[in-house]
Structure 1
Amino acid sequence: MTKPTVAVAFGGRSSEHGVSCVTAGGVLGAIDREKWNVVALGITSEGRWTVASDDPGAWAIVDGALPTVADDGETVLLPVSAGNRSWRVEGHDGSIRHLADIDVVFPVLHGPFGEDGTLQGALELLDIRYVGAGVLASAVGMDKQFMKTAFKDAGLPVTPDVVLYPGEHPEGHIADIEALGLPLFVKPARAGSSMGISRVDDLAELEAAVAEAVTHDPKVLIERGVSGREIETAVLATETEVRVSPAGEIVTGGDYDFYDFEAKYLDDGDVRLLCPTTLPAGVADVVADYARRAFRAVGAEGLARVDVFVSEDGVVTVNEINTMPGFTPSSMYPRMWASAGVEYPELVQVLLETALERRIGLR
């Protein structure tokens, strides 16, 4: 039988371009080439779709530098109509050549223009199957304001916050912000990988923190800080079941006040990832229940990572859901599944098989 073809799409226009490339390296290394033909679709920081290297080693972090998709001047062309599986490439001279008949896309883009429903919408228009959350779930999962609205509607506890809409200044909301108490966390509403997040221990630091967040998104969330353990849970969904992994825990040390971008991707000494971690039986049950409910609250599909805080007295607060979590072999999502006996290649295989069974066209 002819092997199906998967296109791994990565890079993109967001500030998480490099993180997406590293994730792609992990996925490319895990796909069983005996079962799948593989095409690597790199999207440059300017938005050009290119044919990239499918060598996992090409997308590793080297000397603390994240990889990037280079613009080689050629452009990948999507199919011209729904149901057409033929992808083509426009060369430097304007000539067109066939690339592949693609059966499923594994989009490992993080942040806007990829994880937020935009790429998913383009694939839906063309009846192309893909891994992960659909348009609405991706968009809600990307926007922390609406994500928390969905969580609250599902009865899940979240941290109090104040939203600054584009162009608003914190001075116009100072009474509500002061009521949150200190410390505060200032976040871009639609970004990931801890990009643009600042901890504020003094209101004198607030304006600078908001300015940093705005460089990533004009809409900003100011949240009450929560004291507690940072616990994560991986969710894996097929057509017949939603599975939840054992919980993992992030423990930061050194100069880190929280699990920021450097701690996630560039530090190898002051951050410990415990998979699985130890929680009291009752608390572990609550964490697993909240993970399932958060997954369903946004209408996620395929995979997600749900992050919560657990206080000293066992109170669980939902922080966020990530509909396309970091997916390198050392990332928390695959590590949590590995602790349950599901190794990285098997995890990727399940996601691809599930995507091939996905309904296309009108749902």
Structure 2
Amino acid sequence: MKTVGVVFGGKSPEHDVSIISAQSIVSNMDRNVYAPVLFPMNREGQLFRGDGGFEFLKSGTGEDILPVSFDELKKMDVIFPVLHGPFGEDGTIQGLFEMMGIPYVGSGVESCALNMHKGLFRDVFAVKGIAQPHYRYFSRVDKTASLKEIRQTLALPLFVKPCRGGSSIGISRVDTIDKLEEAVETAFRYDDCVIVEEGIDITEELEVAVLGRPGRLTVAGPGGLIAGDIFYSYDDKYVNKRTRFQIPVEDLPAEVLSGIRKLAATAFAVTNCFGLARVDFLFNRNSGYLALNEINTMPGFTDISMYTKLMMTTGMSFSELVSALLDLAFQRGR
């Protein structure tokens, strides 16, 4: 029996989503092979251990909860860091695992850091010549000059986002230029770097699930989503749940599907991902225009998460998916 340290919660604005993802993973872990050990992390970044970890983060109470140091993780055979967003998906905690020599699920330090930063991510793919929206990113010290440039060079509508964030938290759509600065300030509440992207004419967002390691990848999808809001907002995802899913996406020619999967595998390789990733695209089926949107190195594992839904279209169960991810972690650990 191998012990799996499941780390969840954390300092990120996606703290609550992390709890839901971790619950799904633990409930689908093969108990004949793996023994999950819960390591809840509060919003201040303090680590705890105990079977009542989920209830502890939700209500502040839970059975057998004790504060522990990160050295406690060394007792585990492998770590499953179910942490979304900053301080979990950005390479910080992965660096800690590397220093401790502990096998862990997911991509390494450089891949997580690159894919988490929307500006640097876009810089890499601009060099590679892969289609993506026009963009500009900046820190607060460059705000005035950057806003002037954006007003002159980018066309409405604009999407304003924290550079390092997820689950659509802090994102605004700007349809009139007088609302731009307000949207930028909203994004600065969640990060010290903001990216502004030019809106493009699309009919849908497509998402592709990738599992494996370089040279041995399973690519599933794409799945399509049609947002109930003007874009795929946090409320759309987790509160109102108004988004409509197509899994798999319908009525696309075989050559288009093949091209999307190939580009997803290329993006996975270019950013040195390992284990898993969800690769997101913006697509217009009328013109055939396809643009890379982002790569998520620790996608959600909730009941509405596209990654798990797509992987299940390959015939893999949720439990088999969790086992495959843990096995990949051990392979890299060797």
Amino acid at match of 1:77: S
Structure 2 CA distance for partners of 1:174 and 1:49, relative to 1, 3 Å: same
Structure 2 CA distance for partners of 1:176 and 1:77, relative to 1, 3 Å: closer
Matched, 1:201 2:175: yes
Q: Is 1:307–1:321's contact at 8 Å kept on the other side of the alignment?
A: yes
Task: In structure 2, list runs of 5 or more residues that go unmatched.
Answer: none
Whole-Å Cα distance in 2 between the matches of residues 8 and 359 of structure 1?
A: 17
The more displaced of 26-35 and 233-242 is 233-242
CA deviations on 1:110-143 (whole Å, 9 max, x unpaired) are 1111110000000000100000000000000110
- The DSSP-based 3-state class of the residue aligned with 2:140 is coil
The more displaced of 196-205 and 141-150 is 141-150
Report deviation, 1:68: 6.7
Task: Write out aligned runs for 1:1-80 (5 A).
Answer: 3-53=1-51, 58=55, 67=58, 74-79=66-71
Whole-Å Cα distance in 2 between the matches of residues 50 and 190 of structure 1?
A: 25
Q: What's the TM-score, normalizing by structure 2?
A: 0.93
Partner of 1:251: 226
Number of residue pairs matched? 330
Whole-Å Cα distance in 2 between the matches of residues 359 and 137 of structure 1?
A: 17
Q: Is 2:40–2:53's contact at 8 Å kept on the other side of the alignment?
A: no
Matched, 1:277 2:249: yes
Report deviation, 1:240: 5.3
Structure 2 CA distance for partners of 1:171 and 1:146, relative to 1, 3 Å: closer
Partner of 1:190: 164
After the TM superposition, which segments of 4 or more aligned residues of structure 1 sit over 4 Å from their partners? 68-73
Q: Is 2:151–2:177's contact at 8 Å kept on the other side of the alignment?
A: no
Amino acid at match of 1:14: S
Partner of 1:262: 235
1:300 to 235, 250, 273: 273
Partner of 1:154: 128
Amino acid at match of 1:34: N
Whole-Å Cα distance in 1 between the matches of residues 317 and 26 of structure 2?
A: 15
Partner of 1:234: 209
Task: In structure 1, list runs of 5 or more residues that go unmatched.
Answer: 60-65, 80-86, 89-99
Matched, 1:122 2:114: no
- The DSSP-based 3-state class of the residue aligned with 1:221 is strand
1:316 to 271, 290, 297: 290
Report deviation, 1:41: 0.6
CA deviations on 1:203-259 (whole Å, 9 max, x unpaired) are 011011001000000110000012211000000014750111021011123xx1000
Q: Is 2:206–2:224's contact at 8 Å kept on the other side of the alignment?
A: yes
Q: Is 1:194–1:260's contact at 8 Å kept on the other side of the alignment?
A: yes
Higher helix share: 2
Structure 2 CA distance for partners of 1:186 and 1:214, relative to 1, 3 Å: same
Q: Percent same amino acid among aligned pairs?
A: 38
Partner of 1:138: 112
Whole-Å Cα distance in 1 between the matches of residues 146 and 246 of structure 2?
A: 42
Amino acid at match of 2:211: L
Q: What's the TM-score, normalizing by structure 1?
A: 0.86
Report deviation, 1:286: 1.7
Structure 2 CA distance for partners of 1:237 and 1:70, relative to 1, 3 Å: farther
Structure 2 CA distance for partners of 1:6 and 1:293, relative to 1, 3 Å: same
Whole-Å Cα distance in 2 between the matches of residues 271 and 69 of structure 1?
A: 32
Matched, 1:169 2:143: yes
Whole-Å Cα distance in 1 between the matches of residues 256 and 59 of structure 2?
A: 41
Q: Is 2:165–2:190's contact at 8 Å kept on the other side of the alignment?
A: yes
The more displaced of 164-173 and 230-239 is 164-173
Report deviation, 1:297: 1.3
The more displaced of 68-77 and 113-122 is 68-77
Aligned-residue CA RMSD (Å): 2.1
- The DSSP-based 3-state class of the residue aligned with 2:33 is coil
